[in-house]
Structure 1
Amino acid sequence: MKKNSKKHILLLSASGVLLICLISIYLSRNALLRSIVDKRTSHIEQTHGLRIHYDNLEMNGLNEIILEGLSVVPEQRDTLLTLTSTRVKLNFWKLLSRKIKIRYVAADGITLAFTKRDSVANYDFLFRKKLEYLTRTSPQTAPQTNYAERINKILNLCYGFMPENGQLNNVCITERKNNNFVSLTLPSFIIKENHFQSVITIQEDSLAQHWIANGELHQHYNSLKATLYSSDSLKVSIPYLTRRYGAKITFDTLSYSLTKEIGSSKQVYLKGKARVNGLDVFHKALSPEIIHLDRGQLCYEMNINGHSFELDSTTIVDFNKLQFHPYLRVEKEKGNWHFTAAVNKSWFPADDLFSSLPKGLFSNLEGIKTSGELAYHFLLDIDFAQLDSLKLESELKEKDFHIISYGATSLSKMSDEFIYTAYENGVPVRTFPIGPSCKHFTPLDSISPILRMSVMQSEDGAFFYHRGFLPDALREALIYDLQVKRFARGGSTITMQLVKNVFLNRNKNFARKLEEALIVWLIENERLTSKERMYEVYLNIVEWGPLVYGIQEASAYYFKKRPSQLTTEESIFLASIIPKPKHFRSSFAEGGQLKENMEGYYKLIAKRLAQQGVISEIEADSIRPDIQVTGDARNSLAGEKPESSSPTAEEQ
């Protein structure tokens, strides 16, 4: 009995001590909370150069925190953040396991202001820390980023801080640069049983918009659904983009959903859907006109592990009437990126493609009607550690394909005489007919065979045998561009150059390359213009010098001759001018003679002419870069310093 009594006494004593400790912690919880917060804020202040102040911080019970009068001010900068008051209820059991899960939040008077005056911003401390870290850490010693871990932490933080219930009042986020500003105001953001709704007012300088956002968020299921649309009759217009990037994006409705799952090997799987209706996009780098998309939807499945992101091929893209499954993988190993993209679209109605092209992006093809079926295969594999291993495959197949009617432009216009306009920087500089009615027009059979073959061997030796594209040339050009980190080579065939000049001369942007590829495929696949006529047009419109267009003008400008009278040396010289017509003087040394470094080019073209049987091997061995400029070009060469011999990317 005595032993049991002692045990009971000890137990009661331990319980009493524990109870006293708990009571002490409970009574001193506010002082303990402020101590922890002050220690943390002090570290943040010293690290980032901030002043963080609050009027009151206390706990109500065991799981509710009250904060009042918070302000964050960067040193010698404008105030970044102010908060009038907030009450936050946390999940007590999650808190014991060092996890934050907010059950309820009520906040009032949140103001977040990003300001920049000239080159001084109140948010530059965010980038300063990153730059300081990069200067202290070499690529070899920098830790490898675990993408799955980072994404999981960010999403857990977002889900953890989004409560099932709550209300935010008077929230204002502003971005101001000198005299321009954008503000986003939420008078009331209500969350009730995982569902949220809010009216959002956007003020950009003197223009105002009113949006409505609603949706639902479930912490337990790691899921989010949201919809955004305008409460006015106008479209939603994304602010800031016009001022910062010269772009404009508007839409009727945007819907988005996201669900996160964790795999057995700690991979993160993201699934969801993004849908947009009535999308309009404008940027001069894309197209000179507004690009319109009636309906677009992405049902995605993304797999993220420690060193890669992968858009699974089960992903579905709906693009007006078109649907396809893209595959994308981005991986980083030992500091080097590996990029893979693929699309395989089996047989589908051809008109689904052409009727789905966004208005404003393919102006020449708008309204075109087609029949038959198409299938498409695309693969791009770039390992930046081994650029020579780059793979590029692109093939559009057809079955019983026909053009029923042209759209905005007749794609067969080159078959007959047509009016050609030459442009420079989007401005028309010359307009003339390509046909017998033009005094400078030269039929193909009136042009020296050596000149015809010299240009072809310089620009596109397989012109008469391919269907408008040379995949190997495009692949080699892409490898070279990646190596020199600029657009130095284009890999264009004669057909591609011709389509660019005849149909797309005014538009120098990304969309032009896509439209160019489609027009080339249509012309070559449907034989809309014969190869002979295309080459004839090419030689009559190509630029051979500043405002010198066509072989007849070029022959006279340089040699006072007709195109049929050109020698082999003169023909090879004219072929060398095409990639750099405005810089032809760079081929000459002082005194009007061709530079010695032209000899390699002459030998190469002469060898190819001999292989084609246009000249003999003996003649080819005797070819040297020796010409006499007798036309008006001689005046341009006299006394002028040669220009750089490097053609621009656009001239390529």
Structure 2
Amino acid sequence: MDQRLKKRILIGVGGVLAFFLLLIVLLFVFRSRVLSYTIDRVIAKVENKYPADLNIGNAEFADWNSVVLSDISFVPHGLDTLFTTDSVHASVSVRSIFKGRIVFKRLDVTNGYLTAVKNGDVTNFGFLLKDDTKTEEQPKDTATTGRNYGQLLNRLIETAFDNVPDKVDFKNLNASYTSPNRTIVVRMPYMRMDDGDIASEVYVRADSLENRLRLHGTIDPGDYRIATSLYAADTMGIRLPYVKKKFDAQVAFDTLHLSLDNKKFRDGMLTVSGNAMVDNLVLNHPKLADEDIQVGESAVDYVVTLGPNLYVIDSLTEVRVNKARANLFASYQTIDTTKIIDLKVTTKQVPANDFFSSLPTGLFENLEGIQANGWLQYDLDFHVNMDSLSQVVFNSDLDASEDFKITQWGNTNLQKINGSFTHTVYEYGKPVRTFTVGPANGFYSPINQISPYLRNAILTAEDALFYSHNGFHEEAFRQAIIKNLEEGEFARGGSTISMQLVKNVFLSRKKTVARKVEEAIIVWLMENLDLVSKNRMFEVYLNIIEWGPDVYGAKDASRFYFGKQPSELNLAEAIFLTSIIPSPKRYRSSFDSYGNLRNYKAGYYRMIGGMMRRRGLISQEEYENLYPNVQLYGRARDLVVTAQDTSAVEEDTTRYELETIDLLDF
């Protein structure tokens, strides 16, 4: 090659290298200006989006590709400071410097403090949830349509995910929430996010409870997906704060797995799906059960939709409790001013052993330890329109395979009532009386030694279809639901005699959800497996129910009120005893001070007597001769009759008048 050409090539290459070297030198010299330009753009973008000031006290390069930002604060206009941090160390993309802007690849944040404050309706964080676009449909917060919580939650999710950095390492990150009623403090010694992986150690103090947790998970901000796991870092477990104060309950667990897998927002409707799983859940609430409820594993695969006046748990939602699974559909919606509630529960065929072993411990004491063959399946369908309560729909079915059979009883042998057994009566959780239900007890009466009037009156008033149903009367239960919704409280139970018997023999008298469910399961087992005959069930019922203070059973009641045997009761006496079954301790309110039935009892007598006549249980003549009054004898009379003997008073008055006349004449 020509020497002159080589020389020119070398000069050209040297010139290019010199140019790039000069460019690098210039970029190095002016990189601070590039950094300032980038910082100014970030501040302008944030302050244009939010009514707040973003302050960065100092920004400088620590080396060729590292930037240190210090004295950073985010202050809403006219409100308390929301966020401060001592320093942020950021790795810079060299390529971005050549493009005249700076892109931070990794953030190391030290001593960050997020301080949320609420005072009345004023917060220093609410502006983050407000819509910053003018074209998007505004939330429906008017009085006529109600608040669209779907749109509100969608904004919350997008705001959180849109501000997630690719890589960040927090050291000593602190967050707090303060309001007049509560304070929550969260401290993270570290939190790392690296290419979607999350790891942190968390200390949470709220409601005098402190939880120590470890967190691991993954996040994909672009697709709004997150999966996290919370682990207890001590033996106390993870305890939920404020639950005791708000609901008089306690909730604790070892591990929580929670994920958001999909999010769709369209036409004002937000649909989210994912799953949650809790290990070793412990729940305590006096309305649920007397003891701690313990569930080894519980999980839900959820699909939930929120919209204007609409809340739906989709039927694709599956709930798992240990080995038992069920699909759940629930809906609450408001159309104009009408509230409509729907609930459907459906299980697949589950092996009977899996069903009983999956029942949470501490919830159904009598059923713990039961073993069985075959399978079970349950379906529930409930619908109510609050403006049309008479159209309530309630269908509940528990089906079993033909080979379903109890192979081993657990804590309680449900067949014990086929023979003599010891029965203990409890009041307010304490035993008040124990007696034998059987011939060994002198107050025990076989069913054929109890007046037909009493038997038929009780069946008429309490459970007319007792001998034909399988333990449940769905129409009676539906009517009870209607009555309770109308009254706005638990005013009627809809219990059959079978259910009342089970409640008295096997269960506590406390009104808990667990007791009601256990009652239903035991009744179903007794009736569907023919563990006890109907006659025996009714006989035991008549010998154990309460009829007054320390008065239990038909014979005790017959003697207490009327001084006679239960076989000798007449129609009026039978109807009276039937009338006080719902509230036996208030029997004295049925009488005046002379021992006469009060007038309001006449309506009850006409109703029960009329129903017995129409069903052929009494004759027309017996109905026409029915008079709403009874004659008290024995202990009941001594307690009820408090008025003085009228004739004695008149005699005393006459004698006083005669003595007065004699004195005047004298």
TM over 0.5: yes
Cα offset, 1:505, TM superposition: 2.1
1:359 pairs with one of 355, 361, 364: 361
Once the two structures are superposed, residues 254-300 of structure 1 have per-residue CA deviations (whole angstroms, 9 ceiling, x without a partner) of: 11110333266454321111112222222232222222212222112
Over aligned residue pairs, what C-alpha RMSD do you find?
Answer: 3.9
Matched, 1:212 2:217: no
Change (3 A) 1:152 1:36: closer
d(CA) in 2 for partners of 1:340, 1:179: 35
Structure 1 CA distance for aligned equivalents of residues 485 and 356 of structure 2: 32
1:438 paired residue number: 441
Taking the aligned partners of 2:418 and 2:354, their CA distance within structure 1 comes to 28
Distance 1:348 1:273 in 2: 22
Task: Give the direction of change, closer, same or farther, for the CA distance of 1:571–1:393 in structure 2 (3 Å limit).
Answer: same
Partner of 1:598: 601
Alignment check: 8 A CA contact 1:164 1:218 kept: no
Q: Which residue of 2 aligns with 1:187?
A: 189
In structure 2, the residue matched to 1:269 is 271
State the distance in 1 between where 2:331 and 2:432 align: 45
The one of 269, 291, 294 equivalent to 1:292 is 294
Q: CA deviation at 1:160?
A: 2.3
Give the Cα separation in 1 of the matches to 2:615 and 2:168. Answer: 80
Aligned to 2:18: none
Distance 1:155 1:205, change over 3 A: closer
| Per-residue deviation, 1:66 | 7.6
In structure 2, the residue matched to 1:93 is none
1:64-75 to structure 2, matched below 5 A, reads 68=72
CA 1:535–1:67: 2 relative to 1, 3 Å? farther
Asked if the contact 1:70/1:84 (under 8 Å) is kept, the reply is no
Task: Tell me, yes or no, if structure 1 residue 574 matches structure 2 residue 577.
Answer: yes
Alignment of 1:131-150 (within 5 A): 141-150=143-152
**What residue number does 2:389 align with?**
387
| CA distance, structure 2, for counterparts of residue 266 and residue 33 of structure 1 | 28
CA deviation vs aligned residue, 1:472-513 (integer Å, no higher than 9, x gap): 010110011011100000000011011111111254311111
Amino acid of the structure 2 residue aligned with 1:332: T
Q: Secondary structure at the match of 1:508?
A: coil
Measure the CA separation in 2 of the matches of 1:634 and 1:125.
Answer: 64
Give the aligned partner of residue 118 of structure 1.
none
SS of the residue aligned with 2:288? coil
Which residue does the alignment assign to 1:424?
A: 427
Is 1:559 the counterpart of 2:562 in the alignment? yes
Match of 2:401, SS? strand
Which residue in 2 is equivalent to 1:157? 159
Give % identity. Answer: 33
Mapped partners of 2:604, 2:77: distance in 1: 65
Contact 1:607 1:617 in 2 (8 A): no
Matched letter for residue 342 of structure 2? T
Q: Which amino acid aligns with 1:315?
A: T
- Residue 594 of structure 1 aligns to a residue whose secondary structure is coil
- C-alpha distance in 1 between matches for 2:88 and 2:390: 59
SS at match of 1:489: coil
Q: Which amino acid aligns with 1:223?
A: R
Partners of 1:81 and 1:387 in 2: how far apart? 49
**One-letter code aligned to 1:355:** S
Equivalent position of 2:251 in the other structure: 249
Distance 2:122 2:551 in 1: 54
Residue 501 (structure 1) aligns with: 504
Structure 1, 142-151 or 464-473: larger mean CA deviation? 142-151
- Inter-partner Cα distance in structure 2 for 1:256 and 1:88: 31
Preserved contact between residue 30 and residue 58 of structure 1 (Cα < 8 Å): no
Q: Distance in 2 between matches of 1:517 and 1:181?
A: 43
Post-superposition shift, 1:524? Answer: 0.6
Length, aligned pairs only: 575
Once the 2 structures are TM-superposed, how far is the Cα of residue 589 of structure 1 from its aligned partner? 3.4
Q: Deviations over 1:84-106 (max 9, x none)?
A: 557699xxxxxxxxxxxx99684
Aligned residue in 1 for 2:226: 224
Contact 1:66 1:87 in 2 (8 A): yes
Question: What is the identity, as a one-letter code, of the residue corresponding to 1:555?
Answer: S
Name the counterpart of 1:522: 525
Cα distance in 1 for residues equivalent to 2:413 and 2:603: 42
> Which piece of structure 1 moves more, 625-634 or 464-473?
625-634
**Contact 2:70–2:85, Cα closer than 8 Å, also in 1:** no
Written as runs of structure 1 = structure 2, the 5 A alignment for 1:86-97 is none
**Equivalents in 2 of 1:394, 1:611: separation in Å?**
30
Equivalent AA in structure 1 for residue 410 of structure 2: G
Deviations 1:235-258 (A, max 9, x none): 333344345544332222211110
Alignment of 1:333-412 (within 5 A): 333-400=335-402, 401-412=404-415
Aligned counterparts, 1:440-479, within 5 A: 440-479=443-482
**Quick one: distance in 1 between partners of 2:317 and 2:493?**
31
Instruction: Map 1:37-76 to 2 at 5 A.
Output: 40=51, 56=55, 68=72
**Distance in 2 between residues matched to 1:368 and 1:593, nearest whole Å:** 52
> Is residue 85–residue 109 contact of structure 2 (8 Å, CA) maintained in 1?
no
Task: Note the alpha carbon deviations across 1:344-392, whole angstroms, 9 max, x for none.
Answer: 3343322221121111111100110111222222101112122221100
User: For the Cα contact (< 8 Å) 1:81–1:111, is it kept in 2?
Assistant: yes
Residues 564 and 59 of structure 1: is their aligned pair in 2 closer, same or farther, counting only changes over 3 Å? farther
Q: Distance in 1 between matches of 2:567 and 2:148?
A: 67
Could you give the per-residue CA deviations for residues 534-557 of structure 1, whole angstroms, max 9, x where no partner exists? Answer: 111111111111222111121122
CA distance in structure 1 between the partners assigned to 2:615 and 2:550 by the alignment: 32
Correspondence for 2:305: 303
Q: Which moved more, 1:220-229 or 1:540-549?
A: 540-549
Compared CA separation, residues 351 and 28, structure 1 to 2 (3 A): closer
Closer, same or farther: CA 106–180 of 1 in aligned 2, 3 Å: closer
Q: Which runs of 5+ in 1 are unaligned?
A: 1-24, 42-53, 90-101, 115-121, 131-138, 641-652
CA distance in 2, matches of 1:348, 1:500: 27
Secondary structure of the corresponding residue to residue 220 of structure 1? helix
Contact 2:51 2:76 survives alignment (8 Å) = no
Q: Following TM superposition, by how much is the alpha carbon of 1:164 offset from its aligned partner in structure 2, in angstroms? A: 2.9
Give the CA deviation at 1:322.
1.5
Partner of 1:488: 491
TM-score (norm: length of structure 1): 0.79
- TM-score normalised according to structure 2 size: 0.77
Contact 1:285–1:510, Cα closer than 8 Å, also in 2: yes
The answer (yes or no) to whether the contact 2:382–2:394 under 8 Å persists in 1 is yes
- 1:180-208 deviation line (CA, Å, top 9, x unaligned): 98743212222222222111124579875
Deviations 1:404-454 (A, max 9, x none): 111100011111111111111111111101001112111111111101111
C-alpha deviation, 1:323, in angstroms? 1.9
| Higher Cα Rg, which structure | 2
Asked whether the equivalents of residues 74 and 80 of structure 1 are also in contact (C-alpha less than 8 Å), the reply is no
Pair 32,344 (structure 1): closer, same or farther in 2 beyond 3 Å: closer
Once residues 622 and 280 of structure 1 are traced to their aligned partners in structure 2, the CA distance between those partners, rounded to angstroms, is: 61
**Conserved? CA contact 1:80–1:123, under 8 Å:** no
- Contact map agreement 2:51 2:77 (CA 8 A) in 1: no
- Partner amino acid, structure 2, of 1:438: N
Q: What residue number does 1:96 align with?
A: none
8 Å CA contact retained: 1:569, 1:623 = yes
2:650 equivalent in structure 1: none
Aligned twin of 2:64: none
1:234 is displaced (CA, Å) by 5.3
Residue 550 of structure 2 is aligned to residue 547 of structure 1:
yes
* Partner SS, residue 201 of structure 1: strand
